[in-house]
Amino acid sequence: MAVTKKIFKIEGMDCPSCAMMVDDVLEEMPGVLSSKTNYAKSRTEVCFEEEKVASQDIASSIEQGGFTVTSS
């Protein structure tokens, strides 16, 4: 099992609740092991298994929550 750690820059988070929502959504995804989102730094650090989920799918899930992924 190869685990990848990737940082996604996110725009549109206003408060800690936004960060918690991002973490909740991502940690429900099959293959995502953890998500640590910091709204003050506008980023999330995601550990995931590339065999089960692609980074593009993670970015899409963040954007479906109403945020913008500016880099990954």
Buried b (16+ CB within 10 A) or exposed e, 4-38: eeeebebeebeeeebbebbbebbeebeebbebebe
What is the full per-residue pLDDT of the chain (72 aa) written as tens digits? 789 999 999 999 999 999 999 999 999 999 999 999 999 999 999 999 999 999 999 999 999 999 999 987
* Dihedral sign of CA atoms 2, 7, 56, 37 in order: positive
Domain count, the chain: 1
CATH of the domain at 67: 3.30.70.100
User: What residues make up the domain containing 15?
Assistant: 3-71
User: pTM of this prediction?
Assistant: 0.92
